[in-house]
């Protein structure tokens, strides 16, 4: 038996694959798939319930999380980031094992800016509790003007962070070479809007301007496709799951070209080249 759960708050939400039989449930809602994790007064349904608004002010930020954990799969959300002078704010979208000692985590963190400067997205990966693997990319558009799609693909072969289907980071499974790779801990889907002006914008040089508060970020079209936990243990190892199939095991030529374009034109920080932190680059930087 193999069970796969696909959740989409905007469209069809639940598919159970049982001996090849597909059973479609009714569309889900934000309330069905997610829960507010802190400051529920700072999270509101908008656009007729099709989207949510996260609010940051002097009193609090806020956050939400999926009601389920997943192991392997693909998640995506459409996000419209904080507009205007967003320096010192961080909007985060990530997967996390929610374990204290040995954490697995896959992060998108959108670092606010002073008006007129590019928005920076920081990605980070924790594998078996080992993190500090940050990369930063300046987005090539204004992510506060409209919704854009941010996705994380996680399978046995690779982790791919994408923006509007453009890969911005690829982390291959090189466990055979002694490099940690998240593979056994299920992860939930989380998002937060919070104040981090001690580091978020130009290393903390640009502080949040509370005169511009409240700050707003917007989310919609929450797509989660993966093996739900608890569930059949055979799901995660089933290589016929859609996200495990050959087209998702490596970048195709078009994706590879776009990835190189991002790396050549928009990458502004890579831990692999930070000699002050890593005089000897971590092993994965050589693979």
Find the radius of gyration of the CA atoms of the chain.
19
**Is residue 1 in some structural domain?**
no
**Is residue 258 in some structural domain?**
yes
Total residue count of the chain as it appears in this document: 287
**170 in Cβ contact with 284 (< 8 Å):** no
**28 in Cβ contact with 34 (< 8 Å):** no
In 3D, which of 135, 143, 148 has the Cα closest to residue 117? 143
- Residue 276, SS3? coil
- Domain tally, the chain: 1
**Is residue 3 in some structural domain?**
no
**Is residue 69 in some structural domain?**
yes
Decide if 105 is catalytic: yes
pLDDT, tens digit, 9 for 90 and up, residues 217-229: 999 999 989 999 9
Give the pLDDT confidence score for residue 239 in this predicted structure. 87
pTM, two decimal places: 0.91
**Is residue 173 in some structural domain?**
yes
Of 22, 47, 105, 165, which residue is the catalytic one?
105
Domain span holding position 48: 32-222+244-286
**Is residue 95 in some structural domain?**
yes
Residue 215, both tokens: 């700050």
Give the pLDDT confidence score for residue 261 in this predicted structure. 98
Q: How many CB atoms lie within 10 A of CB 108?
A: 23
pLDDT, tens digit, 9 for 90 and up, residues 18-70: 433 222 233 456 878 899 999 999 999 999 888 999 999 999 999 999 999 99
Of 47, 109, 165, 284, which residue is the catalytic one?
109
Give the pLDDT confidence score for residue 50 in this predicted structure. 87
**Is residue 209 in some structural domain?**
yes
CA angle 112, 222, 261 (to 5 degrees): 55
Instruction: Specify the CATH number for the domain of residue 213.
Output: 2.60.120.200
pLDDT, tens digit, 9 for 90 and up, residues 239-264: 889 999 999 999 999 999 999 999 99
**Is residue 228 in some structural domain?**
no
Decide if 284 is catalytic: no
């Amino acid at each position: 038996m193999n069970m796969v759960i696909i959740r989409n708050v905007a469209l069809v939400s639940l598919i159970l694959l049982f001996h090849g039989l597909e059973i479609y449930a009714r569309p889900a809602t934000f309330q069905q798939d997610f829960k507010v994790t802190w400051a529920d007064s700072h999270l509101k349904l908008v656009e007729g319930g099709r989207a949510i608004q996260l609010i940051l002010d002097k009193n609090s930020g806020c956050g939400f999380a999926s009601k389920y954990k997943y192991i392997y799969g693909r998640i995506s959300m459409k996000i419209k980031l904080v507009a205007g002078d967003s320096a010192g704010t961080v909007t985060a979208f990530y997967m996390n094992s929610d374990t204290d000692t040995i954490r697995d985590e896959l992060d998108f963190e959108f670092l606010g800016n002073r008006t007129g400067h590019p928005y920076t997205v920081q990605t980070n990966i924790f594998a078996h509790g080992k993190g500090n693997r940050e990369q930063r990319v300046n987005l090539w558009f204004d992510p506060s003007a409209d919704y854009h799609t941010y996705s994380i693909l996680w399978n046995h072969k690779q982790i791919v962070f994408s923006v509007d289907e453009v890969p911005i980071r690829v982390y291959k499974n090189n466990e055979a070479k002694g490099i940690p790779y998240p593979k056994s801990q299920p992860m939930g889907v989380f998002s937060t809007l919070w104040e981090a002006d001690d580091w978020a914008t130009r290393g903390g040089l640009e502080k949040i301007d509370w005169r511009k508060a409240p700050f707003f970020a917007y989310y919609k079209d929450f797509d989660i496709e993966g093996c739900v936990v608890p569930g059949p243990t055979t799901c995660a190892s089933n290589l016929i799951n859609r996200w495990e199939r050959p087209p998702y095991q490596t970048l195709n030529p078009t994706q590879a070209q776009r990835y190189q374009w991002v790396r050549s034109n928009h990458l502004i920080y890579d831990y692999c080249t930070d000699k002050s932190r890593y005089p000897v680059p971590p092993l994965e930087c050589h693979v």
